[in-house]
Amino acid sequence: MNPNERPEAQGLKQADFQPDPALYRLQPWFSMLALAADWGLIALALAGAMAWPQPLAYVLAAIIIARSQLALAVMMHEAAHGVLLPWQWLNDALAQALAAGPLFLSLAGYRAGHLKHHQAPMVHDDPVAMVFGINDYPVSRRRLFGRLLADLAGVSYCISAWRMARGDYRDILPVPQQSAGARFGVLVSILLANGLLFGILASLGHPWLYPALWLLPAITLLPFMGRIRAIMEHAGLPACDDQRQNARTIIRPSWQTFLFGPHAIHYHIEHHLYVRLPFYRLAAVHRQMAARQLLPAANVYRGYGAILRDVTYSSSSEPRP
């Protein structure tokens, strides 16, 4: 799927509902404000850790930074769909420099796998289901607890990186067509973003904050938050042509969506139906669809706790069919 194309809603008849065409109009200033807010939170968290060198301040800073790293990943996701900015070259360049690069990622590589996910979520070779490990739910609560503990300990990140390097996902992850220059640009963006961050912290007399409050949250808290986000979106749902049936939505923003579903990614049914809508339009489309009773009640939630309960079972119980 070309990120510049505007597909019709999948599994939803056009006669039932179509968003107003004006909602597809991009507002670059909104995306830039969101990116600035993400980096502003990171700066505030680091400044707070410098000003109050106490364990509690470090923990709070790590949580805020990991959440902001997840928010940057969502902005990369927006760019993968071509809806961060209306100019494709700038959309890609800015997302690589300010979102993907700082997280040691390639926008082009992410886009290739993510658009494959949108074509058929939760099928056997869905890259998102396989890489995030959400293809075997429901699972026991003990197993879920173990996975979340492995995330927080950094074990999941190391295992995933090893599997990626070993080529375990070679058959399911599409390889983007990139020139040598483009691949070099990705490497430069990673080195420049992280080098600049380290250099600023070192110049302020706190070089150790880079490994402690940037790298460490990225390999512990970020996988933890990312797993919960991925579980909310698709875990335990069947592969289905009607994409209302294999995605979930949390109906309103809260502290939970701030941590695990930034930039309206928690309106995930709406996103899967209308992938060319920017994140700041999803709430409006959600309200319109809800008013017309076009959302499956079983896939609409108020918070993450209920979802985690629904995709798990007690160790003494039989798995749900």
Per-residue b or e along 231-269, where b marks 16 or more CB atoms closer than 10 Å to that residue's CB: bbbbbbbeebeebbbbbbbbbeeeebbebbbbbbbbbbb
Which pLDDT score, from 0 to 100, does residue 35 have?
98
Residue 25 lies in a domain: yes
Would you say the pTM of this structure is higher than 0.95? no
Matching residue, tokens 């995605």: 247
Q: Where are the alpha helices (DSSP H) in the chain?
A: 28-51, 55-80, 88-95, 107-119, 127-131, 141-152, 155-166, 180-203, 209-210, 216-219, 221-234, 255-260, 268-273, 282-291, 304-310
With a pLDDT cut of 70, the percent of the chain lying above it is 93
Residue 9 pLDDT > 50: no
Mean pLDDT of 62-72: 98
Q: Are 260 and 228 in contact (CB under 8 A)?
A: yes
Residue 263 lies in a domain: yes
Write out pLDDT tens, residues 44-65.
Answer: 999 999 999 999 999 999 999 9
Could you give the C-alpha distances from 66 to 42, 44, 70, 125, 226, in angstroms and in order?
A: 9, 13, 6, 28, 10
Which pLDDT score, from 0 to 100, does residue 177 have?
87
Residue 90 pLDDT > 90: yes
Which pLDDT score, from 0 to 100, does residue 170 have?
87
Cβ within 8 Å of residue 77, ≥6 positions away: 110, 114, 265
**DSSP-assigned letter for residue 134:** -
Q: Which two tokens stand for residue 311?
A: 């995709």
Residue 225 lies in a domain: yes
**DSSP-assigned letter for residue 97:** I
Q: Which two tokens stand for residue 132?
A: 């995030």
Domain range spanning residue 203? 21-313
Write out pLDDT tens, residues 111-138.
Answer: 999 999 999 999 999 999 999 999 999 9
Q: Which two tokens stand for residue 237?
A: 């749902």
Residue 8 pLDDT > 60: no
Write out pLDDT tens, residues 192-205.
Answer: 999 999 999 999 99
Residue 75 lies in a domain: yes
Q: What is the mean pLDDT of the chain?
A: 92
Residue 251 lies in a domain: yes
Write out pLDDT tens, residues 225-265.
Answer: 999 999 999 999 999 888 899 999 999 899 999 999 999 99
CA separation for the pair 268, 38 (Å, rounded): 21
At residue 227, φ and ψ (nearest 5 deg) are -65, -45
Residue 5 lies in a domain: no
Out of 14-28, 211-225, 231-245, pick the least confident.
Answer: 14-28
Out of 9-13, 61-65, 80-84, pick the least confident.
Answer: 9-13
Residue 7 lies in a domain: no
CA separation for the pair 62, 6 (Å, rounded): 38
CA diameter of the chain: 61
Residue 51 lies in a domain: yes
Cβ within 8 Å of residue 108, ≥6 positions away: 92, 176, 178, 182, 186
CA separation for the pair 221, 45 (Å, rounded): 15
Structurally, how many domains does the chain consist of?
Answer: 1
